[in-house]
Structures are given as structure tokens and as C-alpha cells.
Structure 1
Amino acid sequence: MDSYAVFLRGINVGGINIKMADLRDALKNCGFPDAKTLLASGNVVLSSNLDAAAVKQECEKCLRATFGYDAWVVVLDAGRVAQLVDACPYPEDDKSTHTYITISSDIPSLDELEAAGSLLEKHNQQRLGPEALAWLAPVGGTLDSPFSKVSSKAKFKAATTTRNLRTLIKVRDAAAALDAGQAKGS
């Protein structure tokens, strides 16, 4: 069984409010019995015999049926989350900037986002792999940063989501704990 991180796009902002306990229960009822939520921004770790694409499809179907909204998720293998955290060249905590990683389920969308962002901010982003782009925003100015404004456009909504590096570290650690629990149970 493989462990995955599931990142929901656009919940608990903009009118789509889902309690994490309800999210966890919904995913458990949809065939992911060990689903665990982290923070209140739609981060889930779970294990499955399905591949990442099938986990994505099942999670989106479950969320749409349970919560009645047009749900989009990005699913990464738990090991890949750890690799992205390790590859990020920016600091976890800094007094002047916040580090974010935008992840995508559609590589061409991320390519387009990267190209648009690089026109605005030459030195504040770095591609971490085909599905991830790290970028910096000034403390207190994340939503006003040029890259944030570009990434919030509707055309990127279904394929990308952004998390700060601290959140991805928590997701990485929770996924590792899930893996350790599975190893112990085998």
C-alpha cells in the first residue's frame, strides 16, 4: 500500500467551508480508512492500493458527492513530498519572506504559470520538478505579490494549489508517520 498526500484546492476560503473532521469522515467512508487531516486548509495523508491518478479521481468524486462543490485536488506520493521539501532552496522561516510551493496535477499549467511568474519576478521562484514550483513572497504581502496574483487566476484553479513550506513539512512528517504505522502493522 502506498502513502499519499492529498491537497484540496480552495477550501475554507471563498465560501467553501469544510470542517476537517467532516473531510476526514467523508474520505474514510469513500474507501480511505486511514485518512488523516492536517491543519484547516485541506491537507490529507492517506494510504491506498490505487495509483495517484486514481486516488485523485476518487477523492474528487467523494468531495463533490459529499460536500456539493466542484472539487479539485492535487495528489502526490508521500515520498515525493519529502523530496520537494528537501529540494526547496528557500528558508522555512525568515523574517522578511515566506516560502511557498505551488504544486500541480497538470504540468503544462505549471509551465504556463512559471513562465508568467518569471516575467514578473526574476529571482523569486525556482522549479523543483515537473509538478512543483517554489517561490517567495514578502511577509505581510503574500496575496499582493505579483506571483500570487497570477497563480490565483481561474485558468490555474483546477490544476494547481499552493502551500507554505511549513505546511509541507508537517504533511511530510505525517506521511512518514503513516508509513511507519503501516510498516509496524505488516
Structure 2
Amino acid sequence: MNSYAVFLRGINVGGINIKMAELKDALKTRPFSGIKTLLASGNVVLASELPQAEVKAEFEACLRETFGYDAWVVVLKADRVAELVAACPYPADDASTHTYVTLASDPAALTELYDAGTALDGTELTRLGPEALAWLAPAGGTLDSPFSKLSAKPKYKSATTTRNLRTMIKVREAAEGLARS
């Protein structure tokens, strides 16, 4: 049995509202166990016998069938979440900046985003692996930051999602708890 973290893209914003209890109930009908939702921004840890790519396909099908929207998720093995958090060179808590991790289901899309982001003035980015990069935004100005605007472009919508590093730490802790149980 593998432990996974699943990061949903674009829920509870833009008119796609999903209650985490309803999401958990829907996922119980699929080949998943130990399902735990975290925060209202679409973070789930679960266990499954399925390989990672099939977890993604099954999860997205569940969202589309149950909630009726074109859903995209990024699925990572639990131990990979821990590795990405450990690799992040930026602080989880800082008064002047916020650290974000952009996750991708398509490494080519992330490479394109990373390359475009490194060309932006004042943007600090670090590639954490083929599926993740970390970046800093000024406190109180995340949505106005050049990289946030770049990563919000529609062409990245189906392949990427972004989480605050503090959220990634909470997901890592939940995934570690699932793996121990």
C-alpha cells in the first residue's frame, strides 16, 4: 500500500466550491483508504494499491463525475513530499516574505514556467525537482508578484498548482502519519 498526497487545482475559488467532507465521502467510493483532507484549499492524503499515475486518473475522474468540473490534480508519493519540503531553501515563516512551492504533473510545463520565471526581475526561484519549484513573494503581495501572475496563466492551469510552504509541511506531517498507521 502506498501513501500519497494529492493537491487539487482551483477549488474553492472561481465558483468551484467543494466541501471537504463531501470530497472525502466521494473518494471513499474509489480504491483509496485512510483518506484525510487538510484545509479547505484542496489537500488530501490517502493510501492506495494503485500506482501514482492511476491515483491521479482515478481522483480526477471522481472529481469530474461527482462535482461536475474539469478537474486537475498533482499526486506525489508521501515520501516525495517530505523530500521536497526538506529541499526548500527558503523559510516557512518570515515577516517579509512568503515561501511557495509550485507543483506540477507535467515536468515540461514546470521547466517552461521556471525558465520564464528566472527572467523576471526580483524573482527568486529554486528548482526542487522535476515536479516542484520554490519561490518567494513579498508578504502581503503574493498575488501581485510577477511570478504569481506568470504561474496563473491559463496554459499552466491543467499541470500546476501552488501551495504555501507551511501548507506543504502540514501535508507532509499528515502523510507521514498515514504511512505510520
TM-score by length of 1: 0.95
8 Å Cα contact 2:117/2:123 also seen in 1: no
Secondary structure of 1:34's partner? Answer: strand
2:40 matched to 1:40?
yes
CA distance in 2, matches of 1:16, 1:30: 21
Deviation at 1:123, TM superposition (A): 5.2
The amino acid that maps onto 1:86 is: A
1:16-55 aligned within 5 A: 16-55=16-55
8 Å Cα contact 2:33/2:48 also seen in 1: no
The amino acid that maps onto 2:118 is: S
CA RMSD of aligned residues (A): 0.8
Q: How many residues align?
A: 181
Deviation at 1:37, TM superposition (A): 0.2
2:13 matched to 1:7?
no
TM-score by length of 2: 0.98
1:24-173 aligned within 5 A: 24-121=24-121, 124-173=124-173
Percent identity over paired residues: 70
Gaps of 5+ in 2: none
**Structure 1 residue runs of 4 or more that deviate by more than 2 Å after TM superposition:** none
CA distance in 2, matches of 1:76, 1:121: 31
Cα offsets for 1:72-119 (capped at 9, x unmatched):
000000000000000000000000000000010000000000011111
Gaps of 5+ in 1: 182-186
CA distance in 2, matches of 1:56, 1:31: 12
